[in-house]
Chains A and B, each alone.
Chain A
């Protein structure tokens, strides 16, 4: 039954993190964030049909380790205005999450041309070794959050703490993949915006010529 406890914790985390962020915006500052946190905590102990987790579980299903990392980030950001995931690590998480999604989603939805990697997740030592290799890479690159993500996925899978016995479900889920896509899209947009601003103020244009600001 431990897997149900982990499932419950992940949905409580979602509700609390969401309300913390919303109340921080509405009320303002850390006071609003803590009010949101307390409100979320109270709502999640209501009888089953009245708690928001009853609906979030119906909508999203079970969360993966990557979602837990993102939720922890949003909660800490809401409460303490602190970035748990540094921007550089955010890129690593987002690119890896999207690559994993590309590996499992098409075939599991019926694309015949691709091998069904999701099936491997039920018990492949090779897949675990690959995840281990990825963790070693992140360790080498000095990315503690990414290492925790890999470690948590392996932990949930190895100790059967996730409601699914498939490694991939411990690793990623659709909401976390959408966050990854959103992060990369936002980063791309920001880079383009900054590039334009640089071009107007003075900088390097698309042909490589140096532009001089009128005031410089």
Chain B
């Protein structure tokens, strides 16, 4: 009894000092300066990204601008979504074309890295840290469906993604660590902590903010309270440095894009409000343009994903005006044989010249890439 008491007292003292010195949240989000003096006037152009990827089914693209200005895209591909042969593919955009796609992570490699059985891979989300290292956050499942997901972090030795530096398993849920997924763009705090807009889906779907330290461990998890189901948060830094979040609607929620705001770097969030933009239970992406306005990529019909457009607004809450139709089932000749036409999972990004890039899934068969100058979006929007 004396020994166990001494052990307990030692643990108590150490744990007390540890908890008193920890500052899980709080640090400011690092905002990368993005304003260019001249708005790019590049005409819209759609390029196929994944044609050199032999996988018959591809989905969920993510991308990053490398320090030298090249662009690298990531997506998952395999025989079908959820199959054990699904791997994470990547390709590089150099000059005006996409290079040969290659596998940067497969199930076996992740299993070895995390020292556990992994049944399938899912959404990849890429982030370049302050030291120029590529962090790939990827969803994996060991047991069951997507509600049994967990998130892993893979850090590559260099931006060719040929060799992995190390792999970490994120622990973000007390319930067998199940149900956490990522999809949206990642931020970095000034102290080097990654801020992940993530979401939970097991009993019900809701958004959450995860903060991941350099050692790959979650240092804070903030649940965003929602009524009904809202998930796949896409966050951006809004006016006055506030963090804003656009949300995909799920079951029991009005079929519209929802919006929430946080004035303390994601610690507390307002109750999400439905915007005017319809949402067919599909992913959303958003970005701020150089003039401070908001650009959003959405499927604008509450029933289907057969149209993907860009909307622009002076405020996050609207009114939103269409500025570009990205893809539309009616204008495609080669889609007649598809049972269901679908353009989904948009990912918006801005390059070092100020061009806007949109990646999206085309009928689950290709990842496509739209590049467009900001002038087209800003002035095109005014003309309408």
Contact = CB atoms under 8 A, between A and B. Distances in A.
Contact of B8 (A58, A119, A154, A165): A154
B221 interface: yes
A155 B11 contact: yes
A54 B116 contact: yes
Contacts of B114: 57
B377 to A, nearest CB: 37
A163 interface: yes
Interface string B258-291: 0000000000000000000000000000000000
Contacts of A189: none
Contacts of A49: 111-112
Interface in A64-121: 104-105, 107-110, 112, 116, 118-119
Interface in A115-136: 116, 118-119, 122-125, 127-129, 131-132, 135
Contacts of A202: none
Contacts of A109: 175, 179, 200, 202-204
- A61, A107, A172: residue with the most chain B Cβ atoms closer than 10 Å: A61
A8 to B, nearest CB: 8
A57 B24 CA distance: 27
A159 B1 contact: no
Nearest to A113: B225
Interface stretch (A23-31, A35-43, A142-150, A205-213): A142-150
Contacts of A153: 11
Contacts of A129: 16
A139 interface: yes
A159 B226 CA distance: 35
Contacts of B11: 150-155, 158
B142 A151 contact: no
A108 B221 CA distance: 10
Contact of A155 (B14, B16, B116, B206): B14
A24 B314 CA distance: 72
Interface string B1-26: 10011011111111111111011100
Contacts, number: 171
Contact of B174 (A3, A59, A108): A108
A124 B19 contact: yes
B157 interface: no
Contacts of B169: 163
- A58, A116, A155, A164: residue with the most chain B Cβ atoms closer than 10 Å: A58
Interface stretch (B87-95, B96-104, B212-220, B364-372): B212-220
Nearest to A59: B143
Contact of B5 (A55, A139, A166): A139
A36 to B, nearest CB: 23
Given A49-B111, A110-B206, A116-B223, A128 B12 contact: yes
- B18, B19, B23, B226: residue with the most chain A Cβ atoms closer than 10 Å: B19
A91 B17 CA distance: 31
Q: Is the interface of A mostly helix, strand, loop or mixed?
A: helix
Contacts of B204: 109-110
Contacts of A142: 1
Given A59-B142, A158-B15, A144 B223 contact: no
Interface in A182-216: none
B115 interface: yes
Given A58-B143, A151-B10, A174-B176, A165 B1 contact: no
A196 to B, nearest CB: 37
A128 B220 contact: no
B171 A62 contact: yes
Given A58-B143, A132-B16, A48 B176 contact: no
A148 B173 CA distance: 25
B269 to A, nearest CB: 13
Contacts of A108: 173-175, 223
Contacts of B223: 107-108, 110, 116, 119
Contacts of A54: 111, 115-117
A148 B7 contact: yes
B237 interface: no
A168 to B, nearest CB: 6
A173 B223 CA distance: 20
B177 interface: yes
8 contacts: A55-B117, A105-B174, A150-B11, A155-B10, A155-B11, A158-B11, A163-B171, A166-B174
Closest 9 CB pairs of A and B: A154-B11, A158-B14, A58-B117, A151-B8, A123-B22, A158-B15, A58-B142, A154-B15, A164-B171
Interface of B: 1, 4-5, 7-20, 22-24, 111-112, 114-118, 142-143, 150, 169, 171, 173-177, 179, 200, 202-206, 213, 217-223, 225-227
Given A110-B205, A151-B11, A174-B176, 8 more contacts: A54-B111, A57-B114, A62-B171, A104-B174, A139-B1, A148-B4, A165-B217, A166-B174
